[in-house]
Structure 1
């Protein structure tokens, strides 16, 4: 059979009609001597099972390290790197041995996490999401978080309690004022005032314009949509808000459109969602109007009816602090200056105490409260002042001077002051005693001679008499240096003589 030589390797490839017809090729190798034959290195093929036993898969998925599941966790080569990048559940820790012993790195991590959880449990804290995520929070807040103490009825539990003496003082002031006390403005009052301004600008000599022909009237479609949204907001509990409601802050006349939804009848959850939307999308002035005309009346009504504040309204107050200037001008200062109860001041003040606020906003609010004259003073003013002072801001000199003047003005008032006033004075002296000059200390001592509390007065006096240890040490060092200089000068004079 004819064949063809294929080089020095000793291969013959026969070719003929039969082989070409059947397309079969026969490769023959010429035998060589044993010393020239290369050694064939063949690996034994590892026969693997088509699948693992069921109990091995179950234990492997559960993360249980056993000798049988060791191969599940031991990955080598390129596949191990890829799985480490793609598998989010992979911690990067592998067992040291196939017997399931926890490695040292993993045991240290577990111990550290246990210590952190124990520390959080002792301090009464728990982890939570950031307030700046998305639209100022999560979409659904139907379940109370662990950050606040909530009772079975869904009300936030506040540590402070209103003092009976402060409540009696507030009742006496309200009876003295009688009907002269002005009611808090509402959204309807604000809109009516704006309409009156438009009518006055238009002039009184023209004929009245019908509602259909009035260019300032809202379109009928807008009135229909937002009027129908009112019942939905009354029953809202969780989920997404309508898109028509989310675009409300972008409208030029959003106050008039918002009135169509009847904000006074919204559910607590709807009020929380609305506060997030309006606080994040409105300007500082617009957010101030919303907080003052919508959120503040809802908060005060809930406290008056239940003697507590609903969890969702409490969270709405915290979200309102996204714009500190709007919060202080729309909720904090109106609440203090319009005459609120101590319970309202304690609840709203607890929000300020828990949330971080810029120093300048806190100092400006404290100065505004310090300007309240004794004739218009209420116990809630001192409660809110004490909360701001207790945040331990590095206050400007003007703010400290304003607080000293505020307390000194009460020397002209002969009435017996409630406990909240003395507590605010004590907190101020404790926090800023080293920032007071000798003249300011003497003014506060004069206040103590007029208004002295049997339990709090001695503490205030002790704080006023305290001296700064660092300042005393500095003065002593200065005296020693002067003494050494004088002694050295005397020695020089003796040597010259």
Structure 2
């Protein structure tokens, strides 16, 4: 079949133009639906109408409309039977009047019963007093305390009674109460430091030097049970981060006790290597070391063994001149003991340029042994030296280093001391050194005050 030309299709029109339909009297309306589905639905609806049945959707709508109409009718009937506002108000007044009459009857009965009960019941005096205390003012504060205040007062009294057993325990004046969490945390740190050998310290322990009450918290960790390695690490931490006065407290409270206990408990009376290093680190603050370790050690019956070990630390560490001179001056003013003489000798052998005041104290220290029989160690045996060898060695060290820094009068007194406290091996050396020295020039003769007393 051949193709239909486009001209032929254009000539054929599907329907009349709209203008023609409007111009006609009735117009041309479509009687059949173009959609097949719509036609089938309308056909079914027509069939149902013919049969006398309705579909579900239409039946629901009809029922809903019937329900709404029934509700409207019921509302109208209620409005007709409802009394007016005035009638309802009158009914309310009548009901209230009846209630009042009933209340009066019941109140009369209650009063009669209450009068009878008053004759039978007896109130105790204590109960009456309590009643008057709490209810006399009717809950007001006019001339008294109300019930709420009395209840709060009773609660406070109960709390105080609960705290009495704790307060009754006698506590030292310096006691400080720490939070329970802090105590638990630092007790665990104390257990860690008890077995510590190497590695980083706990962070909670590192912040101790920054606390104001670090001594109280440190006591919770039981420093007596720390390992020697932990003591060394703690000494570095505290001495480097605390001031001189605070470092003195740590050295005296921790290092001094560990030093003495370690020497006493060891079999050969030696000091642990880590504690020895800790004491060397503590000399980073020399003032704290002398005030917190050396002077308390001398004052508390220091043995020669302890003095020898501590003096070896002083010998290996460089100490500022002023600190050494002050420490030497304080040692010279102490009572004579062999341990004190050991420290004096070590500080002299460091060969510092000591101030003249300290040199004069040294001269007076050795001069006071001339005619003092109380200094004798063994008075029964005249063949043995009366003073220990340590004293003669200290005297020799002073003569060798400072023979040119003493005056002629001081030299003569020292030679007299050598004669009275003579040692067969050391005495001749001391005399030779003193005689070889030159007299000291007075500070007034020195130019422009080049050598000035440090004090």
TM-score (norm 1): 0.50
Partner of 2:339: 380
Partner of 1:449: 419
Shift of 1:382: 0.8
Partner of 1:355: 317
Partner of 1:265: 225
Partner of 1:368: 330
Q: Comparing both chains, which one has the higher relative contact order based on Cα–Cα distances under 8 Å and sequence gaps of 6 or more?
A: 1
Partner of 2:352: 393
Q: Secondary structure at the match of 1:221?
A: helix
Q: Work out whether residues 211 and 217 of structure 1, in 8 Å CA contact, stay in contact via their aligned partners in 2.
A: no
Separation in 2 of the partners of 1:329 and 1:367? 13
Separation in 2 of the partners of 1:320 and 1:398? 27
Report Cα offsets for 1:310-337 as digits up to 9, x if no partner.
1100110111011010011111222223
Partner of 1:13: none
Instruction: Confirm or deny that 1:285 pairs with 2:245.
Output: yes
The alignment of Structure 1 onto Structure 2 pairs a total of residues equal to 262
Written as runs of structure 1 = structure 2, the 5 A alignment for 1:145-294 is: 210=167, 216-294=176-254
Q: Secondary structure at the match of 2:424?
A: coil
Separation in 2 of the partners of 1:228 and 1:242? 10
Residue among 240, 244, 262 paired with 1:302: 262
Instruction: Confirm or deny that 1:331 pairs with 2:305.
Output: no
Written as runs of structure 1 = structure 2, the 5 A alignment for 1:109-124 is: none
Written as runs of structure 1 = structure 2, the 5 A alignment for 1:23-34 is: none
Shift of 1:209: 6.8
**CA RMSD after TM alignment:** 2.4
Q: Which has the larger radius of gyration?
A: 2
Report Cα offsets for 1:292-319 as digits up to 9, x if no partner.
1110110111112221111100110111
Distance 1:216-1:308 versus aligned 2 partners, 3 A rule: closer
Shift of 1:281: 1.1
Q: Secondary structure at the match of 2:423?
A: coil
Separation in 1 of the partners of 2:191 and 2:217? 15
Q: Secondary structure at the match of 2:368?
A: helix
Distance 1:470-1:282 versus aligned 2 partners, 3 A rule: closer
Distance 1:462-1:291 versus aligned 2 partners, 3 A rule: same
Residue among 409, 428, 451 paired with 1:458: 428
Report Cα offsets for 1:422-474 as digits up to 9, x if no partner.
11111111110010110111111121122111111111111111134999xxx
Partner of 1:404: 363
Separation in 2 of the partners of 1:470 and 1:396? 13
- Between stretches 252-261 and 321-330, larger displacement belongs to 252-261
Q: Work out whether residues 408 and 439 of structure 2, in 8 Å CA contact, stay in contact via their aligned partners in 1.
A: no
Shift of 1:411: 2.1
Q: Secondary structure at the match of 2:370?
A: helix
Distance 1:327-1:211 versus aligned 2 partners, 3 A rule: farther
Structure holding more helix per residue: 2
Partner of 1:493: none
Separation in 1 of the partners of 2:405 and 2:439? 13
Residue among 404, 413, 421 paired with 1:434: 404
Q: Work out whether residues 226 and 257 of structure 1, in 8 Å CA contact, stay in contact via their aligned partners in 2.
A: yes
Partner of 1:314: 276
Distance 1:385-1:263 versus aligned 2 partners, 3 A rule: same
Instruction: Confirm or deny that 1:423 pairs with 2:393.
Output: yes
Partner of 1:344: 306
Q: Secondary structure at the match of 2:353?
A: coil
Report Cα offsets for 1:71-106 as digits up to 9, x if no partner.
xxxxxxxxxxxxxxxxxxxxxxxxxxxxxxxxxxxx
Q: Secondary structure at the match of 2:404?
A: helix
- Between stretches 440-449 and 426-435, larger displacement belongs to 440-449
Q: Work out whether residues 393 and 426 of structure 2, in 8 Å CA contact, stay in contact via their aligned partners in 1.
A: yes
Separation in 1 of the partners of 2:284 and 2:186? 27
Written as runs of structure 1 = structure 2, the 5 A alignment for 1:43-192 is: none
Structure 1 runs of 4+ off > 3 angstroms? 207-212, 467-471
Shift of 1:380: 0.9
